[in-house]
Structures are given as structure tokens and as C-alpha cells.
């Protein structure tokens, strides 16, 4: 890693507040944030450690060939790890070049799925692990992209089953340092937790970090991938959505049943590790008994519309062989037409 800056990762599930936290931290004069980079996930699946099953080449042959090549290097896997790190160092260094910030902040939720790869690549980096109540995560996920349809959301992506074990594993490991932050604590006491985060990052606290909407570089915040649905509505953390999930579920036994089945399939130790032990997990829902109200649906944003179109389009392609053939033909035509570019 270049000596001119330090690398910091925000690791958390989708809809857990990672975009808000990134913008708060990026408000600090020493931190450079930005859109999700997705640099490391593909690199972690090149074939030596994880196969790319749907890549446009024979992943089995590629894996065997790469492993044989790695075995022939003087330092074997050490040389391959060094090459992967060099790739990242070049890109991160170029991103930081010309600026005055000393911390490069990378926030990409999918990094939770490959944290063993990342921590081995960057053992000296800082890791901020953001967790949120599992029911709140899934309720927000389903509400944001599937119009509140829990079944469709779970069929498309079992978010809880994928992310909770991964986040718990990262919090339990002892090879790198990490800072565990709960979404609910952050929005209740943002000043306190920003001060603690700054201590962890070894930088002085700056009061403007809490009012991220007034200080963040909007040109950087608006581009690329990320999840702007909630964070764009506020200029500082708000606790208005902490127990919104409980109000929604209290009026729908079917959603409660499905969500409980998801959480029952999880390891209780993992739930405890991320900060939501099973014996108190449902207290907010119990407190909502008899006060359930139908949730008012918010107006669609362009981001939500894009996500819904992608989800519906993928479902259509999966169901219809004819549609899939047409899409594949269009893709081939576009590839040919754009090849010279």
C-alpha cells in the first residue's frame, strides 16, 4: 500500500446504512469517499480461489491453468497475492493522486462476501463493519425494490442468509482490526459514534461530518453505484426509520411468518455477534401490538424504477426461452457493432 494514504473499507449488507455512513465519513477533510468501486469482488473470483461459473470461458480449465502457473512462480501463491495487491495499489493510488486526503474509503456491500480475500490482501487496512436489525434490512430491501413483496424479494436474493454469516465471520476473526457499528446507534447518537470512528481511524473529529448533506462533494456522491433512496432525503442521520419495519410487519402476519423463517434458519451465534441476539430480536414488533398502521407508499425515484425494471426484466428472461433468445441475439448484435470501440 502506498505510504501516502491509508485504506479503509465499509463492510455491510445492502439497505443497512452504508451509503449514509460513507457520506458522513467522506465529509471529513482527510477522507476521500465516492461511489462503490466493485474493484475487489471480480478480482477475488479470478479462478484460483473462487470459480467464475458464468464467465465467458471454461472456468474449470482456467482454474487448473492458473493454479499450475501460480505453482511455477518462485514464491508461488505469494507472488500471485503480490500481483493482486499491485493491481489494487495502482488504481487506489491513481484515485488519490492530486488530492490532500490521507484516507481512501471504499464502500461496496458485496465486499462482505469476499472479506477473507480482502483482509489477506490488505491486512493493514481499517475495516468498519456496519450492521442493522435483520428485519429492518430485509423490510427495506423488499420495500425499496419489490414494492413490499417479501416472497419475491427473498426469491431474488436471500439477503439475510448471505450477509449475516459473512458479517459475523468478519467480526469474529482476529487477523485484522475492525470497528463494529450498529445503524441504530449511529442514527441515535451520530456525534458520539463519529468521534469514536475518528479515533479508530486516527484522525481528529470534525463536527461537519454529521451534517453530511451540507458538506459532501455532490458530484462524487451522485455518480456510480450506491443506494441513494433514503440517504438523499436527509442531510444528517435520522432515527425515523429505526422501527419502521415493526410497524409494517405488525399489520401483516404473512410477512412476519416469512421473515421469522428466514431468521430461524440463521445461527444464533451469528445474530448475537452482529448485535441482535435472538431473545430480544422481536421486542420492537411486540411493542407494536395493537398499533399497526398501513404504511404509506413513498413516491418512486428514478433509482427505484431502474432497479424494478432490472428485476422484472431478469424474471422475464428466466421464464421465457423466446425472450431470452431475443435478448441474447440483441446482445450479440450490440457486441459486433461496438467491437471497434
**Is residue 246 situated within a structural domain?**
no
Q: Are residues 100 and 178 in the same domain?
A: yes
Angle 114-106-263 (CA atoms, 0-180°, nearest 5)?
A: 50
Nearest partner of 107 among 203, 186, 14, judged by Cα: 14
- What pLDDT, on a 0 to 100 scale, did the predictor assign at position 281? 93
Coil, strand or helix: which one is 9? strand
Nearest partner of 65 among 85, 84, 80, 54, judged by Cα: 80
Q: Are residues 26 and 100 in the same domain?
A: yes
**Is residue 29 situated within a structural domain?**
yes
Q: Are residues 322 and 180 in the same domain?
A: no
Task: Please give the Cα distance from 118 to 126 (Å, whole number).
Answer: 11
- What pLDDT, on a 0 to 100 scale, did the predictor assign at position 218? 47
Q: Per the structure block, which three cell numbers stand in for 173?
A: 476473526
pTM over 0.85: no
In sequence order, what DSSP letters do the residues of 10-30 get, joined into one string? EEE-TTSSHHHHHHHHHTSTT
- Looking up residue 145, the CATH number of its domain turns out to be 3.40.50.300
Task: Please give the Cα distance from 197 to 220 (Å, whole number).
Answer: 22
- Residues with Cβ within 8 Å of 194's Cβ and at least 6 positions away in sequence, in order, are 24, 205, 209, 210
Q: Are residues 29 and 101 in the same domain?
A: yes
**Is residue 253 situated within a structural domain?**
no
- Let me know: does 273 contact 171? Beta carbons within 8 Å: yes
From residue 138, alpha-carbon distances to 13, 120, 143, 144, 156 in Å are 10, 30, 8, 10, 12
- What pLDDT, on a 0 to 100 scale, did the predictor assign at position 100? 92
**Is residue 228 situated within a structural domain?**
yes
Q: Are residues 201 and 341 in the same domain?
A: no
Q: Are residues 217 and 96 in the same domain?
A: yes
- What pLDDT, on a 0 to 100 scale, did the predictor assign at position 219? 45
- Let me know: does 243 contact 295? Beta carbons within 8 Å: no
Q: What's the structural domain count of the chain?
A: 2
What b/e sequence results for 101-120 when a residue is b if at least 16 CB atoms lie within 10 Å of its CB, and e otherwise? bbbbbbbbbbbbbbbebbbe
Q: Are residues 135 and 214 in the same domain?
A: yes
pLDDT in tens, the chain (341 residues): 445 789 899 999 988 999 899 999 999 999 998 877 777 777 776 655 555 554 444 556 666 777 888 888 899 999 989 998 999 999 999 999 998 999 999 998 889 999 999 999 999 999 999 999 999 999 989 988 888 889 989 998 999 999 999 999 999 999 999 999 999 999 999 999 999 999 999 999 998 898 877 665 544 444 444 555 555 566 677 777 788 888 888 878 999 999 999 999 999 999 999 999 999 999 998 887 655 555 555 555 665 676 677 777 877 888 888 888 888 888 878 877 776 54
Q: Are residues 235 and 306 in the same domain?
A: no
Task: Please give the Cα distance from 146 to 151 (Å, whole number).
Answer: 9
- What pLDDT, on a 0 to 100 scale, did the predictor assign at position 144? 81
**Is residue 252 situated within a structural domain?**
no
**Is residue 283 situated within a structural domain?**
no
Q: Are residues 333 and 234 in the same domain?
A: no
Q: Are residues 93 and 171 in the same domain?
A: yes
Q: Are residues 141 and 71 in the same domain?
A: yes
- What pLDDT, on a 0 to 100 scale, did the predictor assign at position 291? 56
Domain that holds residue 305: 301-341
Q: At what angle do helices 159-172 and 134-145 cross, to 10 degrees?
A: 140
- What pLDDT, on a 0 to 100 scale, did the predictor assign at position 56? 47
DSSP letter at 213? G
- What pLDDT, on a 0 to 100 scale, did the predictor assign at position 73? 87
Task: Please give the Cα distance from 57 to 331 (Å, whole number).
Answer: 17
In sequence order, what DSSP letters do the residues of 280-297 get, joined into one string? TTTHHHHHTTT---PPPP
Beta bridge pairs of residue 179: 128
**Is residue 220 situated within a structural domain?**
yes
**Is residue 1 situated within a structural domain?**
no
Q: Are residues 180 and 322 in the same domain?
A: no
- Let me know: does 239 contact 187? Beta carbons within 8 Å: yes
Amino acid at each position: 500500500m502506498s505510504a501516502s494514504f491509508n485504506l479503509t473499507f465499509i463492510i455491510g449488507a445492502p439497505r443497512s446504512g452504508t451509503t449514509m455512513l460513507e457520506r458522513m465519513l467522506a465529509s471529513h477533510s482527510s477522507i476521500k469517499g465516492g461511489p462503490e468501486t466493485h474493484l475487489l469482488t471480480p478480482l477475488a473470483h479470478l479462478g484460483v480461489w473462487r470459480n467464475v461459473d458464468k464467465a465467458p470461458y471454461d472456468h474449470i480449465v482456467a482454474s487448473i491453468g492458473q493454479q499450475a502457473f501460480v505453482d511455477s512462480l518462485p514464491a508461488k501463491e505469494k507472488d500471485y497475492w503480490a500481483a493482486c495487491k499491485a493491481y489494487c495499489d495502482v488504481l487506489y493510488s491513481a484515485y488519490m493522486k492530486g488530492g490532500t486526503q490521507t484516507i481512501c474509503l471504499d464502500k461496496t456491500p458485496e465486499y462482505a462476501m469476499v472479506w477473507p480475500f480482502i483482509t489477506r490482501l490488505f491486512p493493514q487496512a481499517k475495516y468498519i463493519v456496519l450492521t442493522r436489525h435483520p428485519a429492518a434490512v430485509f423490510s427495506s430491501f423488499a420495500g425499496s425494490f419489490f414494492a413490499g413483496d417479501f416472497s419475491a424479494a427473498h426469491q431474488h436474493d436471500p439477503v439475510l442468509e448471505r450477509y449475516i454469516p459473512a458479517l459475523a465471520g468478519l467480526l469474529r476473526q482476529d487477523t485484522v482490526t475492525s470497528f463494529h457499528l450498529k445503524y441504530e446507534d449511529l442514527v441515535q447518537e451520530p456525534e458520539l459514534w463519529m468521534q469514536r470512528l475518528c479515533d479508530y481511524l486516527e484522525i481528529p473529529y470534525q463536527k461537519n461530518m454529521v451534517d453530511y448533506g451540507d458538506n459532501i462533494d455532490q458530484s462524487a456522491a451522485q455518480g456510480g453505484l450506491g443506494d441513494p433512496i433514503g440517504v438523499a432525503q436527509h442531510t444528517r442521520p435520522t432515527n425515523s426509520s429505526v422501527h419502521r419495519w415493526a410497524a409494517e410487519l405488525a399489520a401483516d402476519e404473512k410477512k412476519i411468518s416469512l421473515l421469522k423463517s428466514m431468521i430461524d434458519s440463521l445461527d444464533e451465534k451469528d445474530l448475537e455477534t452482529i448485535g441482535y441476539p435472538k431473545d430480544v430480536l422481536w421486542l420492537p414488533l411486540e411493542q407494536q401490538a395493537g398499533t399497526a398502521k398501513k404504511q404509506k407508499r413513498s413516491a418512486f425515484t428514478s433509482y427505484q424504477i431502474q432497479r424494478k425494471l432490472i428485476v422484472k426484466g431478469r424474471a422475464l428472461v428466466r421464464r421465457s426461452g423466446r425472450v431470452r433468445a431475443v435478448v441474447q441475439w440483441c446482445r450479440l448484435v450490440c457486441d459486433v457493432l461496438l467491437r471497434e470501440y
